[in-house]
Structure 1
């Protein structure tokens, strides 16, 4: 049986970008949410499980240059580097399982469309939340897309965890405030439909304890 990294290396070695269910010609949903934040162009931004996503391309087109893309698959990273060409110099590429990621800098925006739901065990989910907490600066924002309770139960042959607004809020509520969620259907290249839930979070503001006189 393949381990997780072998699985994803094989996927990106044997399938074209339009032969995987998550393909989007343009990540409209993520870009629309991101634009509402009006983050400075020098903001540190990370795309987790970037794979074949065009989110980084969209951010580059908007003028952002402090970008990080993390993916477990070296083959996926090689593909996106080739696609970006000279623009790849504005992106830091990290080949890592998200659960092994030790952030070396603070980010203002964390984007994850369809990576998080592959973590199915409580200990994995809690570790992910801890890593997000370590990675995000004050004022940091999260945008997560995962399969909803009406979505698929598997993806790429692997089990996933479905989410509702309440279950996603529970994961991050210690350090982050839920800003809102919405449901959206994603049409795959195979003309099937996957139901996603997207949620945005903002780091809670620290309130100082009153000092005793």
Structure 2
């Protein structure tokens, strides 16, 4: 089964509250976004956003230039249905972030909660960091959240990589300056705690 087929199956068989990553609101992500105070016209992309509440929360905050990329078409269809008449003109991308042809210097802010930790091969991580380096404007910001070094070794049946703040910073050090890292204990709908690390970066140059 390909990764795309895997995630199509996950979203086809589970409602949002049945997924381990479910959140009512993307509180930690929003706090980091507000830290850099992007203007409401800022171009923001959510990588692997699926049915995450982040886009909804950003619309509520007044942001209008939003993009969402996910490998699963079923996740994107569900997200579009949930937004209904509240979609301010979101750009929807269906594809693999290691292969997607995103616009060069197209984004002021790139957000990823729980995609990067599924990239267990160094070549995939390099493709990801290269994609971010090309797509984020100089001086733009990158937020990446992964399982912490004491977090789970797999999620939804797939292996994951775990990161300390220093290890996550090192993955992006060639092109990005780390501004801060935070820990979060995410509680799944089943009551299991999953330690996450969030890092906020700024693109050099």
TM-score by length of 2: 0.97
Give the SS at the match of 1:39: coil
Instruction: Give 2:180's aligned residue.
Output: 180
1:138-160 CA distance string (max 9 Å, x none): 21101111001100000000001
Corresponding residue of 2:102:
103
1:191 aligns with 2:204: no
Q: How does 1:12-91 map to 2 (within 5 A)?
A: 12-91=11-90
**Secondary structure, in 3 states, of the residue corresponding to 1:149?**
coil
Counterparts of 2:3 and 2:103 in 1: how far apart (Å)?
Answer: 24
Quote how far apart the aligned CAs of 1:89 are: 4.2
1:24 Cα shift?
0.2
1:155 equivalent to 2:155? Answer: yes
| CA offset digits 1:151-189 (Å, max 9, x no partner) | 000000000110111111111111110111111100000
CA distance in structure 2 between the partners assigned to 1:183 and 1:67 by the alignment: 26
Aligned partner of 1:124 in structure 2 is 124
| Post-superposition offset of 1:101 | 1.0
Shift of 1:87: 2.2
TM-score by length of 1: 0.94
Corresponding residue SS for 1:170: helix
Q: CA deviation at 1:75?
A: 0.1
Mapped partners of 1:148, 1:9: distance in 2: 26
Cα-Cα RMSD: 0.9
Question: What are the Cα deviations for residues 88-123 of structure 1, in whole angstroms up to 9, with x where unaligned?
Answer: 242100000111111125100000000110000001
SS of the residue aligned with 1:99? coil
- Unmatched 5+ residue regions in structure 1? 207-213
What residue ranges of structure 2 are gaps of 5+ in the alignment?
A: none
Q: Tell me the distance in 2 between the aligned counterparts of 1:38 and 1:128.
A: 25
* In structure 2, C-alpha distance between the alignment counterparts of 1:166 and 1:77, rounded to whole Å: 33
- SS of the equivalent of 1:163 reads coil
| Aligned position for 1:164 | 164
- After superposing on structure 2, the runs of 4+ consecutive aligned residues of structure 1 that deviate more than 4 Å are none
